[in-house]
Structure 1
Amino acid sequence: LTLTIIVLLYSLSSYIALMKNLHDRQQVRNQNYARELAALLRSTAADLQQVAEMVPFLGGVESALHNRQMPHINQVLERYWTLMQIQNGIELLRIHDRRNDLVAIKSAVGVRFPDDGVMKKWISDVNASEKPISPVICHDTCMQFVIAPLLIRGEKVGVIALGISLADVLLRFKQLTGDDIGLLVDKSDKGMRLPGWQSHVSGLTNKQESFAILQQASLTYPQLSTISEGIQIHFHERIMYIKLFPLPAMMGTNNANFIVMTDVTRSVSNIHDSIRQIVMVGIAGLLASGLVMWMMFTQLLSRLKDMAYLLPMLSKRNFREFRSALDAYSKAGRFHDEVDKLYEAASTLSVQLENLEKKAQSRARKLSEQKKVLRRERDFVSHLLNTAQVIVLTQNQRGKILSLNRFGRELLQYEADEIISAPFVCFLSDGETDPELNKHLKAMREGHLTQYRHESLTLCKDGSTRNIAWLHSKLDCSEEDEPAILSVGLDVTEYKRVETHLAWLADHDPLTNLFNRRRFSEELQHMIER
C-alpha cells in the first residue's frame, strides 16, 4: 500500500510539475506575443509615418500645397491613391489646413471614419503641438492612424492623417508565430457575431476553422473576462489554448481585443505520455517489489503467527508458561533476525509484566487499606461537622456560601437550598454597610489576609438575631467556585446576655434596682472631681 501511494504521489507530482511547466511556457509565450503585437503596431505606425513624410514630395502635391491650390489637391492625389492602397495598404487619407479645415480626403471603398469629432480633435491637437500621434480607433473594425504635421519647404501648411486596417497586423502575426489570431470588437453590428461574448469578429486568420473554435469557446466560457487569463478547450480531438490580448493603452481605445489561438495538442499529449510511462514503470516496480517482499516475509510471518498464538497467555497472567513456550519455538544456533529480537523482547516483557503484576497487587492492597482509613476519616469529619455546636460554612471567591453544617442550619432556621449560593454578608445585620468588615473579607478573598476575627449580629429566618463570634480562614483554591474561605461561628448570645447582667449586678442593688454603695461612691467622686 505504501509503495502504491508513493507511485501515485510521484505520478501526481510529476503531472503537476509538467502541467506547471506547460503553463509557465504558455505565460512566457503570452509575454512574447504581447511584445510582438506591440512591436507590429509600432512598425505599422512607423510605416505610415514614412508615407506621411513622402506625400508632400509626390509630383504636383508640393506645389499645390505650397501655393495653397486646395481645389487641385484631390485631383493630384487621385493619381497616386491606387498605388498607395496596393503598396502600403492605406485605406484613408485626409489633409487639413492650419485652421483644421478639411481640404482633401481619399478612402477605400466602404471605408469611413465613424466619429468625425474625434478626428477633428486629433487634427487640432497635432496642429497645436506639431507632434505626430498614432492612435487606434475601433468601431465596426479597427484602424490605426498616423496624424502628422505636413511640412512644405520647412513650413507647416497643415496636417495629414493616414489610416490602415489592422488586418495587416493579423497577417504579419500569423506569419511570425504560426498561430491564428482574431480581432474582437465590442458594440459592433458588422462581422461574425459571438453572442456569448457580446462581440463581433472583425478580422480573423484561418477564418472558417478559427471562427468555429471561437464559437465553441464562447459557449463553454460565456464570460469574456475568463479568456484574459487563458483557457484550454477541446476541438475536434485537438486542444486549443486561447488568450485575450487587449490593445495597448497607449494606442487609444480599449473596446477591442486581439484573441490568439494556439494548438497545444502535442505538448499536452507529451505530458500524458510521460505520466503513462511513469505509471507503467511504477506498476512494474510494485509487482517486482511485491514478489520479493512475499518471498522474504513468508517465513517471518509464520514465526509471527506463532507469537500471536502465545500473546493471549500474557493477558491471562501465565507468564512462566509463556516464557517456556517461547523457548520451545526458538531454535538454537539460528541467525538472529528481527523476529528473534521480538522473541527476546517478549520474554523480557513477560518478566517485567510479572513484576508489575506483583507490585500492582501489593499497591492494590495498600490502596484498599488507605481507602478504609480515608472513609473512616471522612465519616469522622462529617460527624464532627454535624454534631459540633458551632456554625461551619465555606465561601467561594465571590463571597457566596457553598456549604453550611447542620447546627448552622438549625440555629439560623434556614434550609440548605435557601442559604446556598447566597452572599455571606446578607445574613449579617451590618454586613453590607460595615466598610471595615467588607474590606477584610475582600482582602481574604484576594489572598492578602489569612485569618480574620469579628463579632456580628447574625439574622435568623424568623427575624431574630444572634450574636456570633466569627473566625475566617483562607483556603487554597484554583477555581472560582471552589471553597476559598472557611468560616467558623460561635454563638455568644447567652454569654453576652449573662455578661451584661453581671455588669448590671456589679453596679446596682438587686432589691431596689438603684446604684449600690460602690457605684454611688464612684459617681459622687466623679462629680466632685468635675
Structure 2
Amino acid sequence: MNSKLPHSAQLRETVKGLSLFQKLCAIIFVMITLIMFGRGALTYYNTLNDYEAGVHKRLQRLESTFKTLVERSSRELFRSADHYQLPSIEAISNNNVPPPSLMSGIDSVVFISINGAILASAHLEGTSYQPSEQDIQLAVASITENQRPHASIICNPGCTQSVFIPLINDDGNELIVNINRSASLLVEDFFDITGAELVIFSSAESDDVAQQTLLSSHGNKSAQMLAGILATSGSTLLSKGTFFGSTNGAYLGARYFEMPNGNLHLAIISDESNISSLARATLREILIAALSTSVLVIIVVYLTLRPPLSKLNTITETLPLLSASRFDEARKALSTVPRHRHYADEIDLLHDTAEQVTDALELLNKDIARHQYELQDKVHALTEAKQFNEMLLENSPMVVVTHRLDGTIQNINAMGRMLSGLNSNLPVNANINQWVRDPERDVTLSNSLRNMADKNQRKFQNELPFLAADGQIHDFLWTHSIVELDSTKLILSLGVDITETRRAEESLRWLGEHDRVTGLLNRSTFIEEAHRRIHRLEDEQAISLIMVDIDNFSEFNDRFGFDCGDDLLRKFANHISQILDNSCLLARTGSGEYCVLLASQPPASPQQLDAISHFEITLGNHTESINATVIVDKYERDACTVDELLSNATSLMQRMKNKAKGHVYYADEEDSRENRQEKYLLKEQLVQALNNNRLVLFYQPIIDLKSQRISHCESLVRMLDDEGSFIAPAKFLGIATESGLMPQIDYLVIEKALRQLAAWQQAGVSIQLSINITAPTLEQPDFSERLAQIIDDTGVTPDAVIFELVETDALENIDNARTLLEQIKSSGAQIALDDFGVGFTSFEYVRELPVDYIKIDQAFIRFIHERENDQALVRSIIEMSHSLGKKVIAEGVEEKAAMDVLSSMQVDYIQGYYISRPVPISALDLSIRV
C-alpha cells in the first residue's frame, strides 16, 4: 500500500464491500419487490377465489336451472294429461288404447289401477317403455300420501321422464295415468339453454363412471369429463357437491346432486377454460405492476438518498483523519459538503457535529500535549521530591523506623542506625524493642503499642527512652502511625530526641520553683511547701513565720549594680540559713524579702533574730553594713492560713518599715485583727464597687515587633474608692479571690471589655483585645454558656478576643483546664498563658493545652538587658514555645535595651511601661509605634 495515500483512502483499500447507499438501495428494492409481489400474489389468490366462488354460484344456478327445467317439463306432462281423452274401462280392458300423438313428444301412456296394477298401455312405434312394479308402487304411495300427481325420472335402462296422474274417467272409475317421455329431451334442452354438460349415472362408488352413465349430454365425452373430474378431486365432488379445477389440461366446474328418489346421480359440468386465460392475464398485470412499482421506487430512493448519503460518505471518510490528528485536512474535506441552512436534516447536524468534534479534538489534542509536558515536569518534580525525601529521611535529626507489631525492624534511617549501632544491612532478627524500652517500668515499644493495635487507632503518641549502643539513655517523644505496605500492616514510628528539652524543662521547673539568684524557693513554692509541712507537723508543735526584708535594697543596687545586688542576696540567704535551724523552710519571696517557716523547739531566740537583721558584705576593699527588718508572726492552725499569715506579715512589714527599719518586730493579736479588719473593709468596698459600677477598665497596648504597631490591648481592672481614687488590683484581687467574688468581677470585666471591642469594630478599628480570666471563673459550671451569651449580646467577632489565664491557675487541674479552654477555642477566641515561668513551667503541660500565646512573666523581663541568666532562660522559653507553634509575649518591658534584646531573640510581642502604662480608654493612643 502506498504510505502517501490519505488515511481515508487507505481505509477504503483495506475495507471492501457494499457502500451504505448500495445496501440501502438493495434492501429497499428487495423489500418493495417482496411487498409488491406478495401483494400481487394475494391479489391473484383472491382473484382465483373470486373466480371459484363465481363458478360455484353458476353451478348452483345450473342445478337450479335443471331442476326448474324438470319441474316445467313435469307440469307440461301434467297438462297434457288434462287434454288426453281417457278410454272407457272396456277399451282399457281390451287393451284397445290409442297410441300417443307423435307431435306430443310422449313416448308411452300406461293406465294403472288405483292398486298399482297395469291395466293397459299405448306406445309410439319403436318404444316399449313401461314403469316397473317398484316405480309404480313408489308413485302410488306418493299420490296416496300427497294427494297430488307424482313426477320422476326413471332410468330402466333408458332414462325417461315419467309422471303419474290420478284421474276419473267418464264411467266414474279412478285410474292412474302414467305418461312417459324420454329424458334426453331434458338433457338436450339443458345443454341448449346453458351450454353445460349433464351426466346421469346410477352409482357414484364405481371406478368406471362410463359404465354407470345412464344419460349424458354428449355421450362418452361427457362421461370421460366426469371421470377426469372424479380422478382429480377424489371424493371432493361427491362430499362437497362442487368442484373447480384443472382436469386434463382444461379448467372445469362440476356440480353433483341426487334425484329425489335417491337412485339416480346427476353431475353438471361446465367448461371454465376462460377463467385460466383471465387468471393468466391477471397474473401478468400484477407482475407488470409490481416490477414497475419496484423500479419506480428504487429510482425515487436513488434520487432521494444519493445526495445525503454522498454527504454522509464524505463525512465518514473524513472522520479517520481526526484519529491521525490531521484536523486541517478534515476541515477542508468537511467544507466541501453542501448543506441546507433552512432545511437541515440529521446529516447536516452530523456535519455540524463533525466540525465541532474536529475543533474540540484539536483543542483536546493541544491540551493533551500540554498536559504531557506538564506531566513530564511533574514526574521530574516528583522524582526530585522522592530523592529529596529520601535524602531528608536519611539526614533527618529524628529517628524514623518502620516495624512490625512485634518490633521486627523493616527499615530505619541513618539517625536510628547511628544510635542503635546498626548499619545499612539490617540483620534479619533486628528488633526495635532492644533499644526502645523503659527498663524501670519494664515496658518495650511493642508493649506500649499493643493498646493502639487492639483499638485500631490510626495514630498514637508516647514517650520512651532510646538505649543507645554507646550506653547513653536518650529521652524520645514518639509518634506512631499504622501504615499498609504490600497489604501488610506496619507501624511507622517517628522519634524526636527530647533529652535536652527534658533537661531544659527540669531547669525551668526548678527555676519556676526557686529563685534564680539565691537558689531558694520562690514565693508560690514556699506557700505550697509551707502548707505541706504544716499538714505533716503535729498540732502541738509551734510554728512561726519569719519575714526578713533587706532595707534600702533598691538603693544598694543603684549604688553598686545588680551583680553586687545579686551577690548580696546570695550571701544574705546563706547568712540566714547559718543562724537558723537547718530544718527551717527558707525562701526568697520578694526583691529583697525572705520568708522562713520555723517549726522548732525552742523557737528562734531574740539574739538569733537580731543577728539576722545585721550583716556585712565586702565589696572589693570596702565593707558595707546591711540592715534588715524582721517580722515574726506565730501561726495558729484555726486562726489563719499560710496565705493569710504571709499577707499579715507583708502588711506589718510595710507598716513597720514606715516607722523604723533594721529592727525585729513580733506580730501580736492586735496586728492580726487590724489586718483582718483592713481586709474586711476592703472587701466591703469591693462589694460596693461591684454594686455601684465603680470597677473601670484600663488598657495597656501590646506591640507586634514585626509590624512595630499595636496588635492588641490588655484590659486591666481598677477600683474607684469613695474619694474617687484608683485602687490597684494587687490590693483587692486577693481579697476577691478569698471572698469568692472573682467570678463576678471577671464576668463584669469580660462584658465591659467586649462592649468596648464591639464599639471599635463598629468604628472600623481593627484591633484585638486581651481579657484576663481567673481559675475560679473558669471552673464555674455555666462558664461556657455565660461566655457565649455575653459574646452574643455584645455582637463582637470572637476571633478578635484573647483570653489570658495565669499559668498556675491553668495547671492546678490540667484536665479540667484543657476541656474548658477547648470550649473557649470552639467559640473562635484565642488563649494566652499568663505569668509563664513562675509556676510549673512545664512544656509538657503547655503542649497539652490549646493555647495560642505564651506571656513570659515580667520578673524575667524587667532586667533582661542586664542579666545573662534571664536572657538564657527567656531565649529557651521563646525557642520551645515557637517549636510548639505558640507565639510569645514579653511583659514588663521598661527599657529600650530590654526591647532590643527581646527583638534579637525573635519574641513576637512586647508589653510594658516602655510602650505605655495602663490608661483609661480616653487616654489610649492606638497609633503608638516603636
TM-score by length of 2: 0.31
Contact 1:98 1:157 survives alignment (8 Å)? yes
CA distance in 2: counterparts of 1:48 and 1:123, whole angstroms: 17
User: Which structure 2 residues correspond to residues 80-479 of structure 1 after superposition, within 5 A?
Assistant: 80-81=99-100, 83=101, 86-107=102-123, 112=129, 115-123=132-140, 126=143, 130-153=147-170, 155-186=172-203, 195=207, 200-223=212-235, 224-225=237-238, 228-235=241-248, 239-248=250-259, 252-308=260-316, 329=334, 334-335=339-340, 336-344=344-352
> How do 1:4-83 residues align onto structure 2 when only pairs under 5 Å count?
4-55=33-84, 57=85, 61=87, 64-65=88-89, 68-72=90-94, 74-77=95-98, 80-81=99-100, 83=101
CA distance in 2, matches of 1:280, 1:274: 10
Note if contact 1:98-1:127 (Cα within 8 Å) is conserved in structure 2: no
Structure 2 gaps of 5+ residues are: 1-29, 360-930
What amino acid is aligned across from residue 33 of structure 1 in structure 2?
Answer: L
Whole-angstrom CA distance in 1 between matches of 2:268 and 2:216: 10
The residue type equivalent to 2:212 in the other structure is: H
Q: Alignment partner of 2:151: what SS?
A: coil
What SS class does the counterpart of residue 215 from structure 1 fall into? helix
In the TM superposition, residue 46 of structure 1 has moved relative to its aligned partner by: 0.6
Aligned residues: 327
**1:325-366 deviations in Å (ceiling 9; x for gaps):** 589625587313442134457789999xxxxxxxxxxxxxxx
Deviation at 1:29, TM superposition (A): 1.1
Q: Which has the higher contact order (CA 8 A, sep 6+)?
A: 1
Contact 1:243 1:261 in 2 (8 A): yes
Aligned partner of 1:447 in structure 2 is none
2:143, 2:150 within 8 Å by CA — same for their partners in 1? yes
Q: How far apart are residue 104 of structure 1 and its match?
A: 0.5
Larger Rg: 2
1:330–1:259 distance in 2 versus 1, CA, 3 Å: farther
Tell me: CA distance 1:136–1:10, structure 2 relative to 1, closer, same or farther (3 Å): same
CA drift of 1:110 comes to: 6.7
Q: Is the alpha carbon distance of 1:298 and 1:98 closer, same or farther for their aligned partners in structure 2, counting shifts above 3 Å?
A: closer
Partners of 2:284 and 2:47 lie apart in 1 by 13
Aligned to 2:83, the other structure's residue is in SS state: helix
Displacement of 1:271 after TM fit? 2.6
1:98, 1:196 → 2: CA distance?
A: 40
For residue 104 of structure 1, give the secondary structure of its aligned residue in structure 2. strand
For residues 391-429 of structure 1, what are the alpha-carbon distances to aligned partners after superposition, in whole Å with 9 as ceiling and x for unaligned? xxxxxxxxxxxxxxxxxxxxxxxxxxxxxxxxxxxxxxx
How many Å separate the matches in 1 of 2:269 and 2:116? 43
Paired residues of 1:96 and 1:159 also in contact (CA < 8 A)? yes
Question: Tell me, what secondary structure is at the counterpart of 1:195?
Answer: coil
| CA–CA distance in structure 2, aligned partners of residues 137 and 196 of structure 1 | 21
The residue that corresponds to 1:374 in the other structure is none
Query: CA–CA distance in 2 between the matches of 1:286 and 1:96?
Result: 78
Amino acid paired to 1:233 = S
Residue segments in structure 1 that go unaligned for 5+ positions in a row? 189-193, 352-530
Q: Report how far residue 172 of structure 1 moved.
A: 0.9
Amino acid at match of 2:96: Q
Q: Identify if the C-alpha distance between structure 1 residues 137 and 341 changes in structure 2 by more than 3 Å, giving closer, same or farther.
A: farther
Q: In structure 1, what is the Cα distance between the partners aligned to 2:234 and 2:111?
A: 44
Contact kept in structure 2, 1:183 and 1:258, CA below 8 Å: yes
Please give the alpha-carbon distance, in whole angstroms, between the structure 1 residues aligned to 2:358 and 2:45: 52
Contact 1:196 1:219 in 2 (8 A): no
d(CA) in 2 for partners of 1:205 and 1:270? 27
TM-superposed CA distance for 1:173, in Å, is 0.8
Shift of 1:184: 2.1
CA contact (8 A) 1:183 1:256 kept: yes
Contact 1:241/1:263, CA 8 A, preserved across alignment: yes
> SS in structure 1 opposite 2:176?
strand
Does the 8 A contact of 2:209 with 2:227 survive in 1? no
Displacement, 1:305? 3.1
Paired-residue identity, %: 16
Q: Does the 8 A contact of 1:18 with 1:271 survive in 2?
A: yes
Distance 2:263 2:145 in 1: 28
Instruction: Give the 3-state SS of the residue equivalent to 1:155 in structure 2.
Output: coil
Which residue does 2:591 correspond to in 1?
A: none
CA, structure 1 residues 242+266, in 2 after alignment: closer, same or farther (shift >3 Å)? closer
| SS at structure 1 position matched to 2:149 | coil
Taking structure 1 as the reference length, what is the TM-score of the superposition?
0.52
- Secondary structure at the aligned position of 1:75 is classed as coil
- Of Structure 1 and Structure 2, which has the larger fraction of its residues in helix? 1
Residue 104 of structure 1 aligns with an amino acid whose one-letter code is A
CA 1:135–1:308 in 2, change beyond 3 Å: closer, same or farther?
same
Contact 2:97 2:121 in 1 (8 A): no
Deviation at 1:28, TM superposition (A): 2.4
Partner of 2:427: none
